A = this chain, B = another copy of it.
């Protein structure tokens, strides 16, 4: 046997390099050669392990999704009450790992890529559905179903919007401010729904 067991290491290095390269450039218009160089290997090796650029991109996306999923699981693990779960879901989206400029830039390019690639669109839907169902479930324990779904929808949209704004580095709010804004939306809506129910 030759120098063995390189495959998982190389794949991981290439995926990390892809995130960095895409994130720095802010575009999927990165060459395989650029990614490979960032990973310290040849472009041919990237093709060897992934089969093609598209598959490398998809693998990169799956990796980001998986990371997000792991973060979410970890955050929910310690959250016992519904409101703690809501706070956890919001916090995960703005955690250091997820809110890093390169990560955000990469996500944004994937959103655009989803318009051309069915598989990319499918993967993004998985992420959106997971976030939504986690939020909606926790909210339904605090208010009626209809209101819960509405808040979940609004929360998701606001989070995505804060993401996109942060990617442009406008006067975009920092993570802490973004969290506060979203949490304020949820608590205000919950308070309003409590009041409307008390009035019945």
Asked if A56 lies at the interface with its beta carbon under 8 angstroms from chain B, I say no
Q: Which range contains the number of A residues in contact with the other chain?
A: 35 or more
CA distance A168 to B114 in the complex (A): 7
Please pick, from B121, B160, B168, B184, the residue contacting A121 in the complex, using a CB distance under 8 A.
Answer: B168
By a CB distance below 8 angstroms, the chain B residues around A150 are 181, 184
Asked if A49 lies at the interface with its beta carbon under 8 angstroms from chain B, I say no
State whether B108 touches A112 (Cβ < 8 A): yes
By a CB distance below 8 angstroms, the chain B residues around A115 are 25-27, 105, 108, 167-168
- Between A and B, 28 residue pairs with Cβ closer than 8 Å are A25-B115, A26-B112, A27-B112, A27-B116, A105-B115, A108-B112, A108-B115, A111-B167, A114-B168, A124-B168, A124-B170, A125-B168, A125-B170, A128-B165, A153-B173, A154-B181, A154-B185, A156-B161, A156-B165, A157-B157, A157-B161, A157-B162, A157-B165, A158-B158, A160-B165, A164-B164, A188-B188, A188-B192
